[in-house]
Amino acid sequence: MNALILVDIQNDFLPGGALPVPHGDEVVAVANRLLDRFPVIVATQDWHPENHGSFAANRGQQPGTMAELGGLPQVMWPNHCVQNTGGAAFAPGLNTARIQRVFPKGTGPEIDSYSGFFDNRRRKATGLGDYLTLKGVTHVFVLGLATDYCVKATAIDAQQLGFTTTLVLDGCRGVELNPGDCDRALEEMQRAGVRLVQSVDLATNR
Ligand code: VGL
Ligand code: ZN
């Protein structure tokens, strides 16, 4: 059984948002086009409290610098995807009606969660892994935002959990804080066993 995982396709990650991913809006059409082909569709949603420790303003830091959170190195981000704000809402135009379950992440102030499966210390699961297993999913297709953070972490965790994992390249865009970050992320995913495809090369699964 195949599942589509839509990673963090949220307003704050679109151009004009609080943590804009260049051309992030372009993944929406790719996502919508693929929806009909998957029996299982889930989404992750970055869902932070106002006092989240990854927010530079809460730490007296500048966005884009490095700090520490929960004992791990942590990029300091602009405030973004605050729970129940418009910035945390899914992108307008994303066909959310077919999303069967949403998995919020980054909900605790003391730890970030790039992966849709676990927090960054891998202490707590979001439930996504168990959900997919319960649905009989063996192969997951991942797309969304951002290639070099949450997409990468989600795809690698999926593969490591035993799901055959395919990244839909044209359905992803990255932050690229440092030049080359997206290319390195793709290499890292491939090294972990993640396959890369273009959406046009996906056969219809119906
Ligand atoms: C993300 C940075 C901070 C992402 C989330 O969705 O890739 N990046 N929070
Ligand atoms: Zn975040």
The number of domains in the chain is 1
Q: What pLDDT was estimated at residue 206?
A: 45
Specify whether 105 is catalytic.
yes
Instruction: Name the active-site residue from 105, 112, 148, 182.
Output: 105
Q: What pLDDT was estimated at residue 204?
A: 62
Closest ligand 1 atom, residue 7 Cα: 6
150 CA distance to ligand 1 centroid (A)?
Answer: 5
Residue located nearest, by CA, to atom 8 of ligand 1: 149
- CATH of residue 173's domain is 3.40.50.850
- Residue 83 CA: distances (Å) to CA of 44, 77, 105: 13, 16, 10
Closest listed ligand to the CA of 10: 1
32-43: per-residue pLDDT in tens? Answer: 999 999 999 999
Eight-state DSSP code of residue 131: H
Kindly give the parts of the chain with pLDDT less than 70: 204-206
Closest ligand 1 atom, residue 46 Cα: 5
pTM above 0.95, yes or no: yes
Q: Which domain holds residue 85?
A: 2-203
Q: In the chain, which ranges are E strands?
A: 2-7, 40-46, 66-69, 72-75, 101-105, 139-145, 164-173, 195-197
Pairing of strands 2-7, 66-69: unpaired
| 136 beta partners | none
